[in-house]
């Protein structure tokens, strides 16, 4: 890294890393692995980019199959920044000059691939405000399979830190961000942590959307022959929260669960017509739980902000936890508070830049 480059990066508080793809690889072999349990998975695929095809044990993203040899450089190169919140990592794009995302969903899926692309759980665009009187920016996000979720808790912390870093904003600034789940308000605090007003949870089953009878209590779901008790919670995006088996047995070792096996079955279960994120929760005490997540469209990730919020909401409804609770994810802890006075959820956690670069890789 050139010295002037390094000092420019230092003055912004992080190191610069120029990402470029030099060799035109034609091989199409890659695997999908679970980042928090290192197991291969065959089923974290995909809505908008089509089903990933299996070749033996090898899962090949469609974006790569469709790419013709020698065509992996696109006309346009895109500058990006990489951020992570508790190991949930995102490619950030400054898209504030245009209403149209600079990267297509198919290209996003390719760039998120950890072997053929940059590697990320999703791509997030800082978009222009749809209504400057109400919002500072809009957040658009694609999952690693190219599908578009309504909201992303870790992602919005990264977005806030990203625009604060770009504009060299004072710490303590709050941003009114427009999302498909409505107004969400992150604040980059003095200590670099980002506290987000995530709004109120959706506790009307058909709005989650879920066909479970209601959100007031847990309901039985059969997955791979086993009966679980699940709560439906909406955070803009759908969540299915599981604390116990239908026989009343609480989850006692969340790391003993075979997520790549059961996660995809929950994800596509008929009781969640828009598919679902699923959180598996082990209670430590009323103020602390361990949670692992299987994300819709992204598989096993190290953290899920909206999932941590849904975990506390379901835990309070079921009497397992207090309204103020630390959710320990594979990537680290998130502080969640479901406020009694206004029903809003405040999520507090880190968001850090890791590198920036330019890519011409495309489909
Ligand atoms: O709802 C979905 O399809 C999720 N995969 C979106 C991403 C949610 C995320 N894990 C979060 O932190 O809320 C990024």
pLDDT digits (tens, 9 = 90+) for 134-187: 999 999 999 999 999 999 999 999 999 999 999 999 999 999 999 999 999 999
Is the confidence at residue 11, as pLDDT, over 60?
no
Query: Of all protein residues, whose CA lies closest to atom 8 belonging to ligand 1?
Result: 152
Nearest to 215 by CA among 293, 305, 317: 317
Per the CB < 8 A criterion, the answer to whether 178 and 135 are in contact is: yes
Residue 106: how many CB atoms within 10 A of its CB?
20
Taking each continuous run of H as one helix and of E as one strand, the counts in the chain are 6, 19
Pocket-forming residues, ligand 1, beta carbon under 6 Å = 88, 143, 149, 152-155, 237, 277, 295-298, 301, 304-307
Pocket perturbation via mutation, ligand 1, pick of 84, 105, 149, 209 by most ligand atoms within 8 A of CB: 149
How far is CA 49 from each of CA 73, 97, 105, 227, 261, rounded to the nearest angstrom?
19, 27, 8, 32, 22
Is the confidence at residue 253, as pLDDT, over 90?
yes
CA distance 306 to 198: 8
Please give the backbone phi and psi of residue 106, each rounded to the nearest 5 degrees, phi first.
-65, -45
Distance 68 CA to ligand 1 centre (A): 31
pLDDT of 185: 97
Residues 6+ apart with CB under 8 A from 321: 283, 286, 287, 289, 312, 315
Q: Catalytic: which of 34, 240, 300, 304?
A: 304
Q: Which one has a higher pLDDT value, 115 or 335?
A: 335
Reply yes or no on whether 240 is catalytic: no
Distance 297 CA to ligand 1 centre (A): 8
CA distance 128 to 135: 9
Q: Taking the C-alpha atoms of 124, 126, 128 and 130 in order, what is their torsion angle to the nearest 10 degrees? A: 50
Confidence band for 68, pLDDT divided at 50, 70 and 90: low
Is the confidence at residue 23, as pLDDT, over 80?
no
175-218: pLDDT as tens digits: 999 999 999 999 999 999 999 999 999 999 999 999 999 999 99
| Average pLDDT, integer, range 222-251 | 97
Query: Percent of the chain scored above 70 by pLDDT?
Result: 80
42-55: pLDDT as tens digits: 333 333 344 444 44
Tokens 């690889």 sit on residue: 25
Query: Of all protein residues, whose CA lies closest to atom 7 belonging to ligand 1?
Result: 152
Reply yes or no on whether 300 is catalytic: no
Is the confidence at residue 41, as pLDDT, over 70?
no
Confidence band for 67, pLDDT divided at 50, 70 and 90: low
Residues 6+ apart with CB under 8 A from 129: 135, 136, 137, 138, 178
Q: Is 232 exposed, middle or buried (0-12, 13-18, 19+ CB in 10 A)?
A: buried
**Across the chain, what does the average pLDDT equal?**
86
End-to-end CA distance of the chain: 29
Query: Residues 165-170: contacts with CB within 8 Å, 24+ apart?
Result: 165/12, 165/13, 165/14, 165/81, 165/353, 166/94, 166/126
Q: Are strands 58-60 and 53-55 parallel, antiparallel or unpaired?
A: antiparallel
pLDDT of 18: 31
CA distance 175 to 196: 10
How far is CA 109 from each of CA 123, 265, 296, rounded to the nearest angstrom?
9, 22, 14
110-142: pLDDT as tens digits: 999 999 899 999 999 999 999 999 999 999 999
Is the confidence at residue 22, as pLDDT, over 50?
no
Distance 6 CA to ligand 1 centre (A): 33
Please give the backbone phi and psi of residue 127, each rounded to the nearest 5 degrees, phi first.
-105, 160
Distance 318 CA to ligand 1 centre (A): 23
Query: Which residues sit opposite 174 in a β-bridge?
Result: 187
Q: Catalytic: which of 152, 240, 309, 325?
A: 152
Per the CB < 8 A criterion, the answer to whether 101 and 107 are in contact is: no
Of the CA atoms within 13 Å of residue 306, those in its CB half-sphere come to: 29
Per the CB < 8 A criterion, the answer to whether 239 and 279 are in contact is: yes
């Amino acid at each position: 890294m050139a010295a002037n480059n390094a000092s420019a990066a230092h003055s912004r508080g992080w190191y610069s890393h120029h990402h470029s793809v030099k060799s035109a690889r034609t091989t199409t072999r890659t695997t999908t692995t679970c980042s928090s349990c290192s197991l291969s998975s065959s089923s974290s695929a995909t809505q908008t980019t089509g089903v990933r095809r299996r070749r033996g044990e090898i899962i090949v993203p469609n974006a790569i199959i469709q790419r013709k040899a020698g065509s992996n450089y696109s006309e346009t190169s895109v500058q990006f920044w990489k951020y992570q919140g508790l190991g949930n990592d995102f490619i950030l794009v400054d898209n504030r000059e245009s209403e149209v995302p600079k990267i297509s969903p198919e290209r996003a899926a390719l760039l998120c691939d950890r072997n053929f692309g940059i590697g990320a759980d999703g791509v997030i665009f800082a978009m222009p405000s749809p209504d400057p009187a109400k919002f500072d920016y809009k957040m658009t996000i694609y999952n690693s399979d190219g599908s578009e979720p309504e909201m992303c808790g870790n992602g919005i912390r990264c977005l806030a830190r990203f625009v604060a870093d770009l504009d060299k904003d004072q710490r303590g600034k709050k941003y009114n961000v427009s999302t498909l789940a409505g107004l969400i308000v992150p604040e980059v605090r003095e200590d670099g942590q980002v506290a987000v007003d995530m709004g109120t949870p959706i506790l009307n089953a058909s709005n989650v959307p879920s066909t479970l009878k209601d959100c007031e209590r847990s309901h039985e779901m059969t997955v791979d022959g086993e009966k679980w008790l699940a709560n439906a919670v909406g955070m803009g995006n759908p969540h299915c929260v599981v604390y116990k088996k239908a026989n009343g047995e609480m989850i006692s070792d969340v790391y003993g669960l075979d997520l790549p096996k059961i996660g995809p079955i929950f994800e596509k279960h008929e009781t969640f017509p828009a598919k679902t994120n699923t959180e598996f929760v082990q209670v430590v005490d009323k103020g602390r739980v361990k949670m692992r997540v299987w994300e819709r469209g992204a598989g096993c990730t190290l953290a899920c902000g909206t999932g941590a919020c849904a975990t506390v909401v379901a835990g309070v409804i079921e009497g397992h936890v207090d309204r103020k609770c630390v959710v320990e994810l594979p990537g680290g802890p998130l502080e969640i508070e479901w406020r009694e006075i206004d029903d809003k959820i405040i999520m507090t956690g880190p968001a850090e830049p890791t590198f920036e670069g330019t890519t011409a890789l495309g489909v």
